[in-house]
């Protein structure tokens, strides 16, 4: 079965067609974009040969590779071996002890970097084309703040291994809080600020957090998003939390912050508890847990992906340096929110361990107008921009006049992450933003891999719009057929990583069985990514999309099961199924099919109340794009909903394919006839 989906704007954006055991790719993109000779001449890796040499070394002699590439990091004792054991429970850098913040902070204090900007921050509110607030935090200042907050956490009784939930927006304090946890060996769990009460509560309970760090509210597209109030409600049913530290962000014009006596304290009061109390870092083992980050899986319960210290640091450090060809004078802007893994690895840990300057912008790309990103680049002289295809497509739609009004000549490198980038968006990014001058690094990775696993390495390789390039150092991907044999060039299959990498997740918090089952059971002992992909005749990888019940909406993974459990929580809903359909802007849009209990009427107010239910339970970002009411859903005789038919219907295609296991054939006809 073959299909190419055409979008309204005339873009051709192919989506994989998936049957039970095969994937067919329809992308035929043969353009190649070479880096300029000037870029290549200055690049860290200057040729494909040089890349191949380093890559071979990383596989054949991982010890030599990782020792050399991490030699600038601070270890109290060096590792005695590089990798021990086998996946799913391999361990890295055995014998090493460290505190990761010494690599991100202390080591820079001994050099002139002490006075270098670690973070240049802009708040969202703007007046007359200028930000109302900007802040520059030097490495010296960042160290001081981290030491003080670490002292506060210690004074509040947080010790090594305790969990701290961070519900913060894009403010420098988010980085400070992450580093302060790491400073004392506590495990941070950053929860995306857009999550609703239930989602936040479940995450706090899952990890049994002792402390929550939040802010009163955040500015978002000119509105205020309440955060402390959400935390308060979540804590009504999350009893492990003893203390809440609150950062006042909104200012005096907004409602005063309600503090619960004995539990809540303001950021400034916390910092005063013991300002030098974090000076001595907790020295931990290489495999000590660093953070938990929740991500969507194919069952309703979010997975607490656990990353550990030395391996994660090594991956973040080395990938930032090479993938972005980082230089000391760069101003590096990764636009991701701190609540996603990209914000962890490429706003905080990777850049700071390399002594880079990061730009952090609090708000939305179109606040107060669609020119905001480009003004930021011009104002600060951003040199590397790392963003997501969904944002790029929004910029395209908003029009070239916005970037064209700004001087973007400081840019030298562009990056993309989060989903396959469609060639039209790639070429637009390259032409309109990069002026044909900046290589585009397409980076494939996951919350689980922690850091970049595949990349169109700038300088060394050419770009092919839509391809994520070649494996990063230490990574050995392959495309497997269902029987575990390697697919031929250009044959679609399942993307696996055959070798353990230092920054891979170690387990799912509190559920090692689910960890093994999710990642290592499809192919016993080999990591299965959940993605379909193909590899072309140049060895370039093309990711075709998720093959599990996980959608990628605007670069965020959303588990259909999680959406479904929110929808069936609605008192009028009998059954539902959530599926994705291609969307020009978001990559995928979320469609829910709903059958109501008897006696309830489908209509606009029912639709709105179902949408509200999802916003309330999960967050606005997961609000379905469409609700379709149906008398019945297509099911197998054993009662399993047949989503592939619903996907066809949602996409406006006729539902074809094998319907022999369908219980009631008339259901499909009715659903198709119901189209809006
Ligand atoms: O399907 C792949 C897609 O995003 C998934 C990982 O999502 P998440 O854990 O939320 O992490 C996003 C940021 C790293 C992958 O399984 N994906 C991510 N980057 C790319 C991509 N698909 C194609 N090309 C990419 N560059």
Cα radius of gyration (the chain): 24
Question: Is there an atom of ligand 1 within 6 Å of 295 CB?
Answer: yes
Rounded distance between C-alpha atoms, residue 320 and residue 15, angstroms:
30
3-class secondary-structure state, position 671 = helix
Q: Over 70: is that where the pLDDT of 589 sits?
A: yes
Q: Residue 525 — very low, low, confident or very high, per pLDDT cuts 50/70/90?
A: very high
Q: Over 90: is that where the pLDDT of 126 sits?
A: yes
Between these two residues, 647 and 516, which has the higher pLDDT value?
Answer: 516
Rounded distance between C-alpha atoms, residue 391 and residue 585, angstroms:
8
Atom of ligand 1 nearest to the CA of 546: 1
CA 54, chain centre distance (Å)? 27
Q: Among residues 139, 79, 75, 149, which one has the least CA distance to residue 106?
A: 139
Rounded distance between C-alpha atoms, residue 430 and residue 437, angstroms:
8
The answer to whether 240 touches 215, Cβ cutoff 8 Å, is no
CA of 641 to the centre of ligand 1 (A): 26
Segments making up each domain of the chain, as ranges: 33-100+298-545, 139-279, 550-675
Q: Residue 274 — very low, low, confident or very high, per pLDDT cuts 50/70/90?
A: very high
Question: Is there an atom of ligand 1 within 6 Å of 446 CB?
Answer: yes
Please report the DSSP string for 244-312 in residue order: EEEE--S-TTSPPP-PPTTTEEEHHHHHHH-TTTTSSPPPEETTSEEEEEEE--SSSSPEEEEEEHHHH
- What integer is the mean pLDDT of 287-292? 98
Atom of ligand 1 nearest to the CA of 421: 24
Q: Over 70: is that where the pLDDT of 545 sits?
A: yes
Mutate to test the pocket of ligand 1, among 319, 391, 444 (most ligand atoms within 8 A of CB): 444
Mutate to test the pocket of ligand 1, among 543, 586, 622 (most ligand atoms within 8 A of CB): 543
Residue closest via CA to ligand 1's atom 24 equals: 420
CA of 556 to the centre of ligand 1 (A): 8
**Cβ-count burial of 573 within 10 angstroms (0-12 exposed, 13-18 middle, 19+ buried)?**
buried
- What integer is the mean pLDDT of 467-480? 98
Rounded distance between C-alpha atoms, residue 595 and residue 588, angstroms:
23
Question: Is there an atom of ligand 1 within 6 Å of 443 CB?
Answer: yes
Rounded distance between C-alpha atoms, residue 434 and residue 456, angstroms:
16
What does the DSSP 8-state code read for residue 348? Answer: I
What spatial distance separates the first Cα and last Cα of the chain, rounded to whole Å?
25
CATH of 33-100+298-545, one of 3.40.50.12780, 3.20.19.10, 3.40.50.920, 3.50.50.60: 3.40.50.12780
Q: Over 70: is that where the pLDDT of 329 sits?
A: yes
Question: Is there an atom of ligand 1 within 6 Å of 293 CB?
Answer: no
The answer to whether 439 touches 409, Cβ cutoff 8 Å, is no
Q: What is the homologous superfamily of the domain 550-675 according to CATH?
A: ANL, C-terminal domain (3.30.300.30)
Give me the pLDDT at residue 390, please: 87
CA of 501 to the centre of ligand 1 (A): 17
Give me the pLDDT at residue 253, please: 83
Give me the pLDDT at residue 278, please: 98
Atom of ligand 1 nearest to the CA of 443: 26
Q: Over 90: is that where the pLDDT of 565 sits?
A: no
Q: Residue 554 — very low, low, confident or very high, per pLDDT cuts 50/70/90?
A: confident
Question: Is there an atom of ligand 1 within 6 Å of 557 CB?
Answer: yes
Give me the pLDDT at residue 25, please: 53
- What integer is the mean pLDDT of 416-440? 94
3-state secondary structure 121-160: EECCCEECCEECCEEEEEHHHHHHHHHHHHHHHHHCCCCC
Q: Among residues 651, 586, 654, which one has the least CA distance to residue 621?
A: 586
Please provide the average confidence, as pLDDT, over all residues in the chain: 91
Beta bridge partners of 558: 551
Question: What are the CA-CA distances from residue 56 to residues 25, 433, 452, 480, 528 (Å)?
Answer: 29, 34, 18, 22, 23
Scanning 161-209, the segments in alpha helix (DSSP H) are 172-183, 197-207
CA of 80 to the centre of ligand 1 (A): 33
Give me the pLDDT at residue 294, please: 94
Instruction: Indicate the Cα dihedral angle 364, 365, 370, 376, nearest 10°.
Output: 120
Give me the pLDDT at residue 89, please: 97
Is it true that 33-100+298-545 and 550-675 share their CATH fold?
A: no
CA of 443 to the centre of ligand 1 (A): 8
- In degrees and rounded to multiples of 5, residue 671 shows phi and psi of -60, -45
Both tokens of 434, joined, read 């990069």
Question: Is there an atom of ligand 1 within 6 Å of 337 CB?
Answer: no
Give me the pLDDT at residue 665, please: 67
**Cβ-count burial of 561 within 10 angstroms (0-12 exposed, 13-18 middle, 19+ buried)?**
middle
Residue closest via CA to ligand 1's atom 7 equals: 446
- Most confident region among 213-227, 550-564, 638-652 by mean pLDDT: 213-227
Both tokens of 489, joined, read 């060039």
Q: Over 70: is that where the pLDDT of 658 sits?
A: no
Q: Residue 676 — very low, low, confident or very high, per pLDDT cuts 50/70/90?
A: very low
Question: Is there an atom of ligand 1 within 6 Å of 503 CB?
Answer: no
Question: Is there an atom of ligand 1 within 6 Å of 341 CB?
Answer: yes
Give me the pLDDT at residue 298, please: 66
pLDDT 10s digits, 22-54: 455 545 677 899 999 999 999 999 999 999 999
3-class secondary-structure state, position 463 = strand
Give me the pLDDT at residue 503, please: 98
pLDDT 10s digits, 179-196: 999 999 999 999 988 888
For 75-84, 608-617, 655-664, which range has the lowest pLDDT when averaged over its residues? Answer: 655-664
- What integer is the mean pLDDT of 135-159? 98
- What integer is the mean pLDDT of 73-77? 98
CA of 7 to the centre of ligand 1 (A): 22
Give me the pLDDT at residue 557, please: 78
CA of 479 to the centre of ligand 1 (A): 16
> What percent of the chain shows pLDDT beyond 70?
93
Q: Over 90: is that where the pLDDT of 664 sits?
A: no
**How many helices (H) and strands (E) would you count in the chain?**
22, 36
Residue closest via CA to ligand 1's atom 11 equals: 446
Question: Is there an atom of ligand 1 within 6 Å of 139 CB?
Answer: no
Question: Is there an atom of ligand 1 within 6 Å of 210 CB?
Answer: no
Q: Among residues 99, 136, 402, which one has the least CA distance to residue 278?
A: 99
Question: Is there an atom of ligand 1 within 6 Å of 529 CB?
Answer: yes
**139-279 architecture in CATH?**
3-Layer(aba) Sandwich (3.40)
Question: Is there an atom of ligand 1 within 6 Å of 58 CB?
Answer: no
Give me the pLDDT at residue 27, please: 54
């Amino acid at each position: 079965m073959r299909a190419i989906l055409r979008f309204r704007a005339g873009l051709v954006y192919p989506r994989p067609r998936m049957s039970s055991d095969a994937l067919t790719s329809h992308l035929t993109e043969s353009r190649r974009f070479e880096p300029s000779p000037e870029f290549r001449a200055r690049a860290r890796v200057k040729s494909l040969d040089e890349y191949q040499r380093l890559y071979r070394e990383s596989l054949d002699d991982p010890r030599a590779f990782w020792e050399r590439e991490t030699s600038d990091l601070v270890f109290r004792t060096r590792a005695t071996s590089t990798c021990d054991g086998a996946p799913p429970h391999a361990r890295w850098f055995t014998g090493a002890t460290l505190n990761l913040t010494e690599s991100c902070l202390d080591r820079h204090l001994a050099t002139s970097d002490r006075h270098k900007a670690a973070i240049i921050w802009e708040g969202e509110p703007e007046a007359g084309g200028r930000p109302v607030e900007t802040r520059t935090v030097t490495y010296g200042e960042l160290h001081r703040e981290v030491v003080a907050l670490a002292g506060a956490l210690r004074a509040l009784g947080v010790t090594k291994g305790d969990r701290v939930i961070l519900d913060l927006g894009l403010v420098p304090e988010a980085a400070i809080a992450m580093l302060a946890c790491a400073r004392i060996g506590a495990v941070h769990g950053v929860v995306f600020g857009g999550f609703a009460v239930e989602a936040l509560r479940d995450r706090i309970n899952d990890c049994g957090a002792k402390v929550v760090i939040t802010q009163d509210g955040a500015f978002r597209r000119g509105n205020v998003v309440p955060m402390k109030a959400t935390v308060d409600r979540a804590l009504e049913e999350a009893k492990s939390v003893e203390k809440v530290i609150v950062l006042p962000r909104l200012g005096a014009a907004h409602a005063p912050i309600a503090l619960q006596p004995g539990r809540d304290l303001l950021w400034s009061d916390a910092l005063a508890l013991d300002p030098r109390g974090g000076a001595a870092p907790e020295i931990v083992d290489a495999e000590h847990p660093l953070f938990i980050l929740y991500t969507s899986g194919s069952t309703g319960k979010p997975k607490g992906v656990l990353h550990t210290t030395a391996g994660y640091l090594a991956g973040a450090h080395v990938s930032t340096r090479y993938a972005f060809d980082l230089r000391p004078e760069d101003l590096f802007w990764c636009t991701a929110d701190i609540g996603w893994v990209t914000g962890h690895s490429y706003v905080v840990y990777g850049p700071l361990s390399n002594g880079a300057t990061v730009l952090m912008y609090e708000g939305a790309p179109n606040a107060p107008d669609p020119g905001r990103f480009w003004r930021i680049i011009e104002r600060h002289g951003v040199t590397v921009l790392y963003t997501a295809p969904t944002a790029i497509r929004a910029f395209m739609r908003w029009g070239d006049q916005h970037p064209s009004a700004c001087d973007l000549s400081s840019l030298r490198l562009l990056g993309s992450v989060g989903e396959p980038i469609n060639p039209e968006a790639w070429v637009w990014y390259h032409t309109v933003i990069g002026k044909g001058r900046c290589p585009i690094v397409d980076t494939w990775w996951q919350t689980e891999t922690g850091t970049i696993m595949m990349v169109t390495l700038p300088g060394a390789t050419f770009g092919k719009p839509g391809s994520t390039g070649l494996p990063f150092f230490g990574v050995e991907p392959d495309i497997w057929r269902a029987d575990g044999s390697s697919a031929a060039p250009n044959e679609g299959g399942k993307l696996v990583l055959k070798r353990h990498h230092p920054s891979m997740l170690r387990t799912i918090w509190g559920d090692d069985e689910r960890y093994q089952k999710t990642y290592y059971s499809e192919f016993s002992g080999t990591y299965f990514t959940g993605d379909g992909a193909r590899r072309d005749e140049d060895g370039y990888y093309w990711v075709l999309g998720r093959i599990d019940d996980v959608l990628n909406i605007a670069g965020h993974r959303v588990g259909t099961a999680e959406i479904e459990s929110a929808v069936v929580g609605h008192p009028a809903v009998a059954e539902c199924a959530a599926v994705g359909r291609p969307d020009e802007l978001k990559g995928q849009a979320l469609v829910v099919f709903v059958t109501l209990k008897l006696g309830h009427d489908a209509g606009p107010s029912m639709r709105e109340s179902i949408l509200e239910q999802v916003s309330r339970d999960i967050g606005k970002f997961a609000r379905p794009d469409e609700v379709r009411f149906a008398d019945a859903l297509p099911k197998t005789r054993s009662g399993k909903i047949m989503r592939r038919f619903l996907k066809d219907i949602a996409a406006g295609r006729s539902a074809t394919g094998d319907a022999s296991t369908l219980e009631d054939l008339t259901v499909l006809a009715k659903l198709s006839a119901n189209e809006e």
